[in-house]
Structure 1
């Protein structure tokens, strides 16, 4: 038999099998995206817990699992203390914010109608402003804290995944490494270690940035005699987890409330938010990029939009860490292992 047809048929079958596997993989990921994303949240939580337990274990000289238990107890105590001190005033201010935002939108409409061009535009959208005024502006924020079955299930899933992974991460990485050929296992283990380090540093940078933004925002708004400074600072700190888009969303309620007091205060508030973001960009972000990978802002925004359209709020929340993970994998497994394989020295000039 002529070997050429057999070779061609084999290549066609291999290509067809690969194409089918890709299609099935995409279909599976799309239909299980929420579960996969929750699992990824659990992985991020495991990285934080494992790192914190390691530091605490070295300081207290206690073994791995017990250091994790001690770190979890320390976290619970810290959250209880912070909640005991800050929860009542913050909850009261969030309720006031929800009551005042519709009034702020109404006043903004009244001022905007003083300009003929804006008035004509609003007249062409009958009922739009009324719909906005009737919207619960804090529905998204309150939804994060609402006790629903879906939220409880999601929290239980990523907490369980995070704690189990943090208790014995080597066992799970060993199983994953075993899925690869023997010759590649050491390299895959090194890539996983690099990926874990990068994600831990990114999470640490985000935590520092969120704390920085939340505290400075609350202090700055208080200095401007702005009402609801604590609630607005909390919102700014939480939304700062989402780079680029989060700070814009956080500034909206603050500007609306400031406009109720007058345009001068609104300008000061806008300058405050811009100044804080500039400080974070020059202080926190460079520190993150020294230990992580540099993400082009345009790539980050595109990823956030795509993942939000595909998977909703959870996709927006996890867009940046997913992009970080993808970039590390591309650098390690494609650029270094494929494009730069066998290069013993840099190319001249």
Structure 2
């Protein structure tokens, strides 16, 4: 009788353990599905972290070289960026808007001229026919959809900027909140990994912004000298697209090359040569000078990371694919290669994070 009771108890405990494991698996599946549904929101949150890193990098420069008090450095950094943005809009806003309008209006005819020269005929009419066949409710609804996408993009941009300012104002609050999601005996590992990732990302981000600015200025000057229409707009497009490694320079140069083909083959040739020279300067001179201590992700790995992120998350994945690869690369080297496998490997950003911690610890 006693043995039967023990067997029943063991059976009950076995069933309870099975139910517990099943619930854990179901919970993990629900959690993964929730993350997938919230992928766009999480990418926007990652964008806010990038904004916070930019603000903190500028604030550190102000504290170190201009002797701005640390408690005011973030406010001054935010005001500097805001004043620069307003000043650029005031100086070039009207001209940039008209040039962008010219680019948008002329781009279909420019593409048609380019495809005619290749012997394919016009493609803009074919694209319009394809759009007409779509069950979109006509031209008005398509225009409304484009307008809605623009408004949504602007809303996301301002959300990222405002959230980035909040994160930059209290970075430790958000970092400690994330650390506390893990078991207590892992807190030190998680915190040091986050610090290393943040420093590596900051090094890459600051270097990338400097390189983008150089590409935008050099491209604008080259397009103006060659005689392309709307050189400011085309130069800004080239600079912004340079944020995406590998693919960005090609995407940024494409509008300028198409416009150059609409003028003459010689103009197109000079434009292609100018873009090649600028990209060589950016890749071999400018970027190495400003990114000597930056994390170096293997090129093939970085390229596939960008492609995978763009397939999974669309345009946001294309934009944030490389910085996500930087963070993943640091975490894998630190948490897996070094601490799990026991391999002796350097972790990008770790030395800078330790130096920053020692600097803050000084009285």
Aligned counterparts of 2:85 and 2:238: Cα–Cα separation in 1: 19
Q: Write the mapping of 1:26-41 to structure 2, written as runs, cut at 5 A.
A: 26-41=32-47
Check the 8 A contact 2:108/2:124 in 1, yes or no.
no
Corresponding position of 2:258: 256
Where does structure 2 lack aligned partners over 5 or more consecutive residues? 1-5, 132-141, 346-363
1:84 to 72, 83, 90: 90
* CA-to-aligned-CA distance 1:9-57 (integer Å, 9 cap, x gap): 8997786566444422321111011111111111111111122223324
1:108 to 107, 114, 135: 114
Q: TM-score, normalised by structure 2?
A: 0.78
Corresponding position of 1:62: 69
Post-superposition offset of 1:326: 0.8
* CA-to-aligned-CA distance 1:152-185 (integer Å, 9 cap, x gap): 4323432332112111111222222233333332
Corresponding position of 2:125: 130
Corresponding position of 2:340: 338
Check the 8 A contact 1:205/1:284 in 2, yes or no.
no
Corresponding position of 2:77: 71
Please state whether the residue corresponding to 1:339 is helix, strand or coil.
Answer: coil
Post-superposition offset of 1:7: 11
Where does structure 1 lack aligned partners over 5 or more consecutive residues? 345-349
Q: TM-score, normalised by structure 1?
A: 0.81
Aligned counterparts of 1:291 and 1:10: Cα–Cα separation in 2: 53
Corresponding position of 1:347: none
Aligned counterparts of 1:15 and 1:302: Cα–Cα separation in 2: 35
Aligned counterparts of 2:325 and 2:127: Cα–Cα separation in 1: 33
- Judged with a 3 Å threshold, the aligned counterparts in structure 2 of structure 1 residues 12 and 146 are, in CA distance, closer, same or farther, namely closer
Aligned counterparts of 2:100 and 2:166: Cα–Cα separation in 1: 35
Post-superposition offset of 1:289: 6.1
2:277 to 261, 275, 278: 275
- Paired residues in the alignment total 324
Check the 8 A contact 2:260/2:271 in 1, yes or no.
yes
Check the 8 A contact 2:57/2:206 in 1, yes or no.
no
What is the root-mean-square deviation in Å for CA atoms of aligned residues?
3.2
- Judged with a 3 Å threshold, the aligned counterparts in structure 2 of structure 1 residues 156 and 223 are, in CA distance, closer, same or farther, namely closer
Corresponding position of 1:179: 181
1:188 to 190, 193, 198: 190
- Judged with a 3 Å threshold, the aligned counterparts in structure 2 of structure 1 residues 210 and 61 are, in CA distance, closer, same or farther, namely closer
Corresponding position of 1:242: 244
Check the 8 A contact 1:214/1:233 in 2, yes or no.
yes
Q: Write the mapping of 1:204-215 to structure 2, written as runs, cut at 5 A.
A: 204-215=206-217
Post-superposition offset of 1:299: 2.6
